[in-house]
Amino acid sequence: MGSGQTIAVFGAYGHTGRFVVAELRERGFVPVLSGRDAGKLQELAASCPGLEARPASVDDPASLDRALAGAATVINCAGPFAATAAPVIEAALRAGIPYVDVAAEIEANADTFADFTERARAAGAVVVPAMAFFGALGDLLTTAAMGDWTSADEAHVAYGLSSWQPTGGTRSAGAVSRQRRGGARVVYRNGRLDYRQDDAATLEWPFPDPLGPKEVVGEFTMADVVTIPSHLPIPEVRTYMTVEAAREVSAPDTPTPTAVDEQGRSAQTFLVDVVVRSGGTERRAVASGRDIYAVTAPLVVEAVDRILTGRTRTVGVASAGEIFDAPDFLRALSSHIAVSTH
């Protein structure tokens, strides 16, 4: 449990940020509410008695320093991460505290590895990007499925979402990514990111029960193509998305998530099917649960707890699968995510 440790949450009033604040409180941490909109921060603070609001902007390093003062860690929930990740990481390095974010943006996560790996390692600092449903969960499942393998030929991560009502943050992050790519789509082939102008193909993916076979977009590339190869020698990493969910997240008129329970979760369910192949052998890991935004909160808070209690395997910039014991981490989330490996 958190034992009253203070955790700065940048972007605390966002959709995912609110889930993170609630999870931190549930686990005994004391969130410090931070972000760019002072009004939204005060509104959130009013609904969470005893929590402090500290407005900050990525354009004002001094404000970030004030927001992180006295915190044990900072969790960045504010996208687009192309704009927020580097300034908040810099502030964390100045404060001498770990940094964790929930970025799903492929380019922003790649930038974090490229720009901060040497500095963070030299400082003995911990920086964990993409500690979210997209990026962390697929990485943890792939690492767990690998078992005693030290390398593989291919990793496939198939997302079976019952629906996908995107948040405003998801839409803005997607727009930034598309702009950075000049409208191209990105894939991970032959050990590197590659950008293509052609359309992704559709195919049928054999999801296990209860979902069963579903039509998927064959190269619906997510942050896993950054996190998985950052520490696993797998030259081909492919991610897939059920066609219905891909259409919904792309449609301009799809509504934002609708809460259907007292926790604020939506009715959305997910099944993530990971297959790794080496030679003629195949290994698999499957995870299922509810609400991709809500489940990010236990993922990122479990990460913070493990960092602060020394249950880590490395320093510097590291993905979830590298810095944590993947099977043990997934077991710790059993009340939120059902996992099987075979």
Two tokens, residue 72:
């044990």
Two tokens, residue 192:
């590197």
Band the pLDDT of 108: cuts 50, 70, 90.
Answer: very high
Per-residue model confidence (pLDDT) at position 44: 97
Per-residue model confidence (pLDDT) at position 328: 98
Sign of CA dihedral 179, 184, 185, 188: negative
CATH placement of domain 133-291+335-341: 3.30.360.10
pLDDT in tens, 111-160: 999 999 999 999 999 999 999 999 999 999 999 999 999 999 999 999 99
Domain boundaries, the chain: 6-132+296-327, 133-291+335-341
Give the whole-number percent of the chain exceeding pLDDT 90.
96
Per-residue model confidence (pLDDT) at position 78: 97
Per-residue model confidence (pLDDT) at position 61: 98
Q: Is the pLDDT of residue 331 over 80?
A: yes
Average pLDDT (98-108) is: 97
pLDDT in tens, 51-63: 999 999 999 999 9
Nearest alpha carbon to residue 25 among 55, 47, 57: 47
CA distance 10 to 258: 23
CA distances from 184 to 55, 173, 242, 248 (A): 36, 15, 20, 20
Q: Do domains 6-132+296-327 and 133-291+335-341 have the same CATH topology?
A: no
CA distance 194 to 225: 11
Per-residue model confidence (pLDDT) at position 99: 98
Where are the alpha helices (H) located in 182-258, listed in sequence order?
224-227, 243-250
pLDDT in tens, 205-219: 999 999 999 999 999
Burial (Cβ within 10 Å: 0-12, 13-18, ≥19) of residue 261: exposed
CA distance 259 to 63: 33
Per-residue model confidence (pLDDT) at position 292: 98
Q: Which residues, including other chains, have CB under 8 Å from residue 241's CB and lie 6 or more apart?
A: 158, 159, 161, 216, 217, 220, 222
Per-residue model confidence (pLDDT) at position 145: 98
Rg (CA), the chain: 19
pLDDT in tens, 255-297: 999 999 999 999 999 999 999 999 999 999 999 999 999 999 9
Per-residue model confidence (pLDDT) at position 86: 98
Considering the segment(s) 6-132+296-327 as one domain, its CATH architecture is: 3-Layer(aba) Sandwich (3.40)
Q: Is the pLDDT of residue 165 over 80?
A: yes
Nearest alpha carbon to residue 196 among 182, 184, 214, 180: 184
Band the pLDDT of 1: cuts 50, 70, 90.
Answer: low
Whether residue 166 is preceded by a cis peptide bond, meaning omega within 30 degrees of 0, is no
Percent helix, strand and coil across the chain, each to the nearest 5: 35, 25, 40
Average pLDDT (4-19) is: 97
Per-residue model confidence (pLDDT) at position 342: 85
